[in-house]
Amino acid sequence: MSVRHALLALLSEGPKYGLRLREEFEAGTGEVWPLNIGQVYTTLQRLERDGLIESDEDDEPDSPQKRFRITADGEQELRTWLRTPPDMSSPPRDELVIKVLVALRVPGTDVREVIQAHRRYLVELMQQWTRIKEAEADRDLALGLAVDAELFRLDAVVRWLDAADGRIKRTAVEPPGRRDDLPRLKRKAGMAP
Amino acid sequence: MSMLELSQVSKVYGQGAAEVHALREVSLAVDPGVMVAVMGPSGSGKSTLLTIAGSLEEASSGQVLVAGQDLAAMSRNDKARLRRRSIGYVFQDFNLLPGLTAAENVALPLELDGIGARKAQQAGLRALTDLGLADRASNYPDQLSGGERQRVAIARAVVGDRQLLLADEPSGALDSANGDAVMRVIRTACKRGVAAVVVTHDAQLASWADRVVFIRDGRIIDQTVPAPGPESLLGQDR
C-alpha cells in the first residue's frame, strides 16, 4: 500500500498531528502492514513540498507535534488515486507456476507430488489466516477485509494447483511435448526473461 | 480414545474388470473436540470415506471404530442405534422438514429415538442456544436463509449426546459469509467436545479445520502439520 495515499486518506478526515497519523495508519490497516515511523515523516515532508498537504507554519519541521491538513490538490489526488485501477494487465512473474512447469521437464519428478507440497503449504497458511478471521476479523472491519483478501488470493493459487493436478492426470497418457514447449509456454504466460 | 478411527480401510465397488477402488488402505483418527477436513477433488473417495465412517456403507476391508466400537462386530440394530444416538450427518442440502420449526427439526432425532416430546424439545433448544441460534428456534425453514438452515441442520446433527459430526460439503451452495457462519458453528460444536469430519474440495472451507487431510484416488496422500500461531503472520514485515 502506498504510504503517501494512506496519509492523504487519513488527513481527508481532518487536520492531524504527525504522531497521530502514524498511530492511525497502523490501526487503519489492521496492523497487517507495519510501518516504519521514519517513512511517515519523510512522506509528510514530500506531500507538503508537492502542495498536497500543508502544516502550521510556526511548528518545528520534523516535529511529531506538527499539525497537517490536506489541500484541495491533495483531495483531488486522493480521489483520482482511489479510482485508478492498479496495473494487472500483465501476469506477475509467478515462481510457483515456474516450478510446476519446470517439474514437468525434470526426469524422474512426480509433478503431482510437487504440486501437493505447494498445496499443503498454502492450505497451512490459509488455516493460520482463518484462525485470525475466527478470533478477530468480525470486530475489526479493516482486518477482516485484509484477511479475506489474503484467503481469496491463496485460495486462487490452490485452485490453480487443483486444476493443474487434474490436467496433468488427464494428459499423463499422452507423449511429452517437444523440448521447445517450455520457453514458448513461458512467453505466453508473460514469464519469459 | 479417538471418537472415530479408521484403520487400513478399503472400499471396492464392482467386480473383475468393472472393479473400482474407491478407498485404498485409508487410516484416519479423529479425537473429541477436533475438526478434520478431508480435501480432495470429486471422485477422490472423500464422500465414500464419510459414509463408511458413518456406518451408512460397509468397508470392503479394514476396521472402523466409532467411540471405540468396531462397526463390523455390530448387529444391524446396534448400528442403527449408533447412527441415531452418536452420529450426526450434515449434507449440502439441509434436509429440514418444512412443517416443523427449527427447534422441532432439531428435536426430531431425539423423538425418533423414543425420548419424550418435552425433553426432546428442551434438548433441541439447548443445541440451538449452544450454537448461537436461539433466536431462530421458532422459525420455520422457509423463514430462514440458506445459511441459517444449514446451521440449524448442524444443531440437529449434534443434538443430545451426538459426539461425531460428519459433514459433506456443508457450505457448498452458500456464499462465503454464510459458509463462514456454518463453519463457525461447527467449530463451536467442536469446542464443546464434538469430533467433526468435513469433506470438501474447497480450501477456504478446509482451512477452518484443525487438520487437513488430502485424499487422491482413494488414498490419503498428505496432511497439514499443526500451524504456528497467527502471530507469525501478523508480525511479518512486508
Structure confidence by residue, pLDDT tens digits, A93-152 = 789 999 999 999 999 999 999 999 999 999 999 999 999 999 876 688 888 888 999 999
Chain A residues with beta carbon closer than 8 angstroms to that of B225: 124
Please report the pLDDT score of residue B238 as a whole number. 39
Judge whether B173 lies within some domain: yes
> Whole-prediction pTM value?
0.82
Average pLDDT for chain B: 89
A 10 A CB-CB count for A105 gives: 13
**In A, which residues are within 8 Å of B221 by CB distance?**
116
Check CB contact under 8 Å for A127 and B212: yes
Residue in A123, A131, A151 nearest the CB of B224: A123
Q: Is the pLDDT of residue A53 over 90?
A: yes
- In a domain? residue B76: no
Query: Around Cβ A150, how many Cβ atoms within 10 Å?
Result: 18
The Cβ of residue B149 has, within 10 Å, a number of other Cβ atoms equal to: 23
pLDDT in the model for residue A32: 47
Subunit contact A162:B212, Cβ cutoff 8 A: no
Tell me which residue range forms the domain holding B212. 31-58+81-225
**pLDDT tens-digit map of A154-192:** 999 999 999 999 999 888 756 555 555 566 666 666 555
Interface test with A, best of B176, B204, B223 (most A CBs within 10 A): B204
Residues A122, B39: C-beta atoms closer than 8 Å: no
B15 occurs within a structural domain: no
Tell me the average pLDDT across B211-216.
96
Q: How far apart are CA A178 and CA A7, in angstroms?
A: 53
Separation CA B183–CA B86 (nearest Å):
20
Say what angle helices A181-188 and A95-105 make with each other, to 10 degrees. 160
Least Cα distance to B30 among B154, B200, B216, B199 occurs for: B199
Residue with the bigger pLDDT between A128 and B175: it is A128
- Average pLDDT value for residue range B104-108: 93
Q: Given this model, what pLDDT does residue A2 score?
A: 75
Question: What is residue A35's predicted lDDT score, i.e. its pLDDT?
Answer: 60
Percent of chain B residues past pLDDT 90, beyond the cut: 62
Residues of B in contact with A125 (CB under 8 A): 233
For residue B196, give the C-alpha cell. Answer: 467433526
In angstroms, the Cα distances linking A37 to B29, B198, B232 are 49, 45, 22
Contact A174, A57 (CB under 8 A): no
Q: Comparing C-alpha atoms, which of A100, A2, A9 is closest to residue A53?
A: A9
Q: What is the CATH number of the domain that holds B93?
A: 3.40.50.300
The pLDDT value given to residue A170:
86
For residue A88, pLDDT beyond 60? yes
**Among the listed ranges A92-101, B18-27, B226-235, which one has the minimum average pLDDT value?**
B226-235
Q: Is residue B64 part of a domain?
A: no
Return the residue matching grid coordinates 488427464.
Answer: A170
> How many domains does the structure of chain B reveal?
1
Is B8 inside any structural domain?
Answer: no
Lowest mean pLDDT among A12-21, A58-67, B42-51: A58-67
What end-to-end distance do the CA atoms of chain A give, in Å?
A: 27
Identify the pLDDT of residue A127.
96
B216 interface with A at CB cutoff 8 Å: yes
B229 chain-A contacts, CB cut-off 8 A: 128, 131
B118-165: per-residue pLDDT in tens? Answer: 999 999 998 898 888 899 999 999 999 888 898 899 899 888 878 999
Instruction: Mutation target for B interface from A130, A131, A158, A168: give the one with most B CBs within 10 A.
Output: A130
ipTM for the whole complex? 0.86
Asked, for residue B24, whether it belongs to a domain, the answer is: no
Q: Are the Cβ atoms of B214 and A165 closer than 8 angstroms? A: no
Please tell me which of the candidates A116, A129, A162 has its beta carbon nearest to residue B233. A129
State residue B95's pLDDT score.
80
**Cβ contact, residue pair A133, B180, below 8 Å:** yes
Domains along chain A? 3-83 (1.10.10.10), 95-188 (no CATH)
Other CB atoms within 10 A of residue B74 CB: 15
Task: Pull the grid cell for residue B200.
Answer: 470438501
| pLDDT over 60 (residue A92) | yes
Asked if residue B34 has pLDDT above 60, the reply is yes
**B209 part of a folded domain:** yes
Candidates A68, A28, A29, A26; CA nearest to A51 is A68
Phi, psi dihedral angles at B58 (to 5 degrees): -100, 145
Which of A38-42, A75-79, B44-48, B227-231 has the weakest average pLDDT? B227-231
Whether residue B204 lies within 8 A of chain A, CB to CB, comes out as yes
Q: What is the pLDDT of residue B237?
A: 43
Residue B237 lies in a domain: no
Strand-pairing partners, residue B168, are: B199
Whole-number pLDDT of residue B147: 86
Q: What percent of chain A is predicted at pLDDT more than 70?
A: 77
